[in-house]
Amino acid sequence: MSVDEAVPVESGQAAVSRRTVLGATFGGIGAATLVGVAAATSWPESSGNGAGGAVATGVGTPIGAGDSAQIDVTAAPAKGWEARDPVLPPASGEREHRITIAAREGVGEVAPGTTQELWSFDDLVPGPVYRGRVGDRFAFTLANEGQVGHSIDFHASKVAWDDKMRTIQAGETLDYAFEAKHAGIFMYHCGTPPVLHHIGNGMYGAVVIDPPDLAPVDHELIFVQSELYLGPDGQPGDLAKMEQEAWDAVVFNGYVNQYQHSPIRVEPGERVRAWVLDAGPSENCSFHVIGTIFDTVYKEGAYRLRPDGGSGGSQALDLQPAQGGFVEFTFDEAGLYPFVTHKFANPGKGALGMFQAGDVDPAAAAAGH
């Protein structure tokens, strides 16, 4: 189903706390925001009453068969395209967050001129970002507004898998409450089998729980790295490719090279904190900003480097799938500063962005690195 043929997403969604649902501000056209409800005829069955339900069979197109969509990494987005806003707003003062999150299926653009059927939370890939502090209580209601079974697994929670993470069917809801007991950036994702297919089709996001001593900065950003496994244009991702780790692209915040097309503006000398989550589902991340050095590194709930610890610096934040952290840095000079995963097979496959420090011409960002 093409974008033009998709049924429009209804407005009137369930009430949510917009002070904690930060992803609502991220819905740029280019950020794999869904534009419609997709037909269910080509989707696998995801059903069952257990934690995840029955495993789907017969899904995905064998590698080399069919007509997979293609990505042109040199192509520019269409007029009117907007990058997903990478700014991470601060945590609210609320200590209890009541949030409804909807599982849906629809069609979204993942690269200039390339669309896929995506399975999502709140029509966003990655899903909304949630933020709080240690001791906060999150009370989620998952509403399955799609046409296949879905579930949700918050890595920030300590709850029974066979209860809160069970699959619910179309039209059903599930309450999932937990206390945030540990600081860090945590993945959440659909856990319905095949889990690989649901994550690979877009059902993942981030929960940020602030460390108690988090220092102020001038800019706070969030980047979620993930892979794309293309099926035919406008169709779901290819499970066979996912099983063989044969990704077509590696991206930040759901769209190929989006921050190369739309550089992130800061000023020389300003302090930047970049939170990074590797959502995978299978590829690692070596987050690196070309032209600067990290003086602060926080990974998996602990500081690895701080400015008061001496003169040491870090060049990359290394993450495996479902790991996350943040780095802090400044730019000494005006200019353009690319950011990549330093696994250099992947910047050429979509994992490339750009910081613009100062009043410089961003046109050179198209040259890559």
Same topology for domains 22-53+84-210 and 219-367, yes or no? Answer: yes
Q: Is the peptide bond before 126 cis (omega within 30 degrees of 0)?
A: yes
* CATH number of this structure's domain 219-367: 2.60.40.420
Q: How far is residue 129's CA from residue 138's CA, in Å, rounded to a whole number?
A: 13
Q: What does R_g of the chain's alpha carbons equal in angstroms?
A: 20
* Spatial CB neighbours of 84, under 8 Å, sequence gap ≥ 6: 26, 27, 28, 30, 31, 32, 33, 253, 254, 255, 258
- The domain ranges of the chain are 22-53+84-210, 219-367
In this prediction the pTM is: 0.85
- The values of phi and psi at residue 263, to 5°, are -60, 150
H-only helix segments in the chain? 161-164, 195-200, 239-243, 258-261
pLDDT (0 to 100) of residue 33: 52
CATH of 22-53+84-210, one of 2.60.40.420, 2.30.110.10, 3.40.50.10440, 2.130.10.30: 2.60.40.420
* Cβ atoms within 10 Å, residue 312: 13
Is the CA virtual torsion 93, 96, 100, 105 positive or negative?
A: positive
Q: Exposed, middle or buried by CB within 10 Å (0-12, 13-18, 19+), for 316?
A: middle
Residue spans of beta strands (DSSP E) within the chain: 96-111, 114-121, 130-133, 137-144, 153-154, 173-179, 184-189, 204-210, 219-228, 249-252, 264-266, 272-280, 285-289, 296-299, 302-305, 317-319, 324-329, 335-341, 352-357
pLDDT (0 to 100) of residue 32: 54
* Cβ atoms within 10 Å, residue 8: 9
Residues 254 and 223: beta-carbon distance below 8 Å:
no
pLDDT (0 to 100) of residue 66: 57
* pLDDT tens series, the chain, 369 aa: 222 223 222 223 233 333 333 333 333 334 455 543 333 323 334 433 333 333 332 333 344 445 899 999 999 999 999 999 999 999 998 999 999 999 999 999 999 999 999 999 999 999 999 999 999 999 999 999 999 999 999 999 999 999 999 999 999 999 999 999 999 999 999 999 999 999 999 999 999 999 998 999 999 999 999 999 999 999 999 999 999 999 999 999 999 999 999 999 999 999 999 999 999 999 999 999 999 999 999 999 999 999 987 789 999 999 999 999 999 999 999 999 999 999 999 999 999 999 999 999 988 766 555
Is the CA virtual torsion 50, 51, 57, 59 positive or negative?
A: positive
Return the bridge partners of 354, or none. Answer: 338
